[in-house]
Homo-oligomer: A and B are copies of this chain.
Amino acid sequence: MMNANLEQFASDNYSGMCPEVLEYMLQANQGHAPAYGNDSWTQKAADLFRELFETDCEVFFVFNGTAANSLSLAALCQSYHSVICHEMAHIETDECGAPEFASNGSKLLLGKGQNGKLTAEAIETIVTKRNDIHYPKPKVISLTQATEVGTLYTIDELLAIHEIAQKHHLRIHMDGARFANAVVAMNKTPAELTWKSGVDVLCFCGTKNGMAMGEAIIFFNRQLAEDFDYRCKQAGQLASKMRFISAPWLGLLETGAWFRNASHANQCAAYLENQLLTIEGIELMFPRQANAVFIKLPESVIQALYTKGWQFYTFIGAEGVRLMCSWNSTQERIDQLVADIREQLESTQLRSVRQTLTSGQ
């Protein structure tokens, strides 16, 4: 754990709380406050979300993203329904069956699509493939914005998917683990990226945006939110000292930190991308559009970087790595990382050249 405190590129959830979040948490810690969300912080935070999204949406606060996604999906379908998502969707690959548990059995139907994005065509193929009672009935489309590979659904892509959704009576769920980064990158309003594009419910992640913990579930389709507060309570997602989740949210929204943090992370990723591309032979796995850079690296280089204490995820089933930037990434560390990658790559190439020579070819 010697490098534990060193800034890293594994995930934006390795970062701590940003100053604004901390400040509001300290304020909220003054004196006593009613429990279970009946406090002024929670009321204010919910109102600010309605302001931010320019609509009278229903807002709920839960502890983490697993709960936000699985409970909101459960609110959109019954156990014998199914949810269509990309084969690389986080709800499929990294939630340990949480959606199936919360919904008591809803199946995830996996679609394909370049750059981690579902296409309207892929969705229709899945919906029309089966319509008999022996297969769970598709009811929801789940989209991740920004996607798991750091790409973005354009407004046109969202609208095309919405058209298919309406045609087949499907609801649209948006996993907003990095929604703030998407808003910043696309230069669109939160409203344009969600309900104006047909999204029924959004899970807006605060943890990756600079909070200690806490997600907001935002129902633009208010009917689907009926009794959702009971669902949260029953699932163990109603915080007694709610103010410690809602006040930090207020800190992000009221000060604009939510936007600044995402901007900083995106800019760091852009800078990292540009620096990496100055290295010969570096190949991007996906277009860099938000705060993550995916590149291919030889196994030996990956190991060497780990040995030097760098932290990042290798991309499943590929000789690639995910480099995630956060609200508190710094140019200095990015430069160090790029330098180490450059050095490792060159020595590797040198080795292979030597081997070629000695092998007398």
Q: How far is the CB of A279 from chain B (nearest CB, A)?
A: 24
Asked if A17 is an interface residue, CB under 8 A from chain B, the answer is yes
Tell me if A275 is interfacial: C-beta within 8 Å of chain B.
Answer: no
Interface residues of A in 64-102 (CB under 8 A from B): 64-68, 70-71, 78-82, 93-98, 100-102
Interface mask (A123-134 → B, CB under 8 Å = 1, otherwise 0): 000000100011
Q: Interface-forming stretch among A29-37, A146-154, A257-265, A335-343? A: A29-37
B39 touches A1 (CB 8 A): yes
Contact A101–B96 (Cβ < 8 Å): no
Bound CA span A230–B81, Å: 8
For the complex, count residues of A whose C-beta is within 8 A of B: 81
CA gap between A4 and B27 in the complex, in Å? 13
- Cα(A17)–Cα(B28), bound, Å: 10
A161 to chain B, nearest CB (A): 23
Interface SS majority for chain A: loop
Chain B positions within 8 Å of A7 at CB level: 31-32
A360 CB–B CB distance under 8 Å:
no
A52 within 8 A of B: no
Q: Chain B nearest CB: distance from A184 CB in Å?
A: 21
Question: Smallest distance from the beta carbon of A33 to chain B beta carbons, Å?
Answer: 5
How many copies the complex holds: the figure is 4
Closest chain-B Cβ to A79's Cβ sits at a distance in Å of: 5
B66, A133: Cβ atoms closer than 8 Å: no
Q: A14-B33, A32-B5, A133-B229 are in contact. Are A64 and B240 (CB under 8 A)?
A: yes
What is the bound-complex CA distance between A78 and B226, given in angstroms? 11
Cα-based distance from A244 to B136 in the complex (angstroms): 25
Q: Could you tell me if B95 and A134 are in contact, using CB atoms closer than 8 angstroms?
A: yes
A213 lies within 8 A of chain B by Cβ: yes
Q: Give the distance to chain B from A226, nearest Cβ to Cβ, in Å.
A: 9
Roughly how many angstroms separate A8 CA and B11 CA in the complex, as a whole number? 41
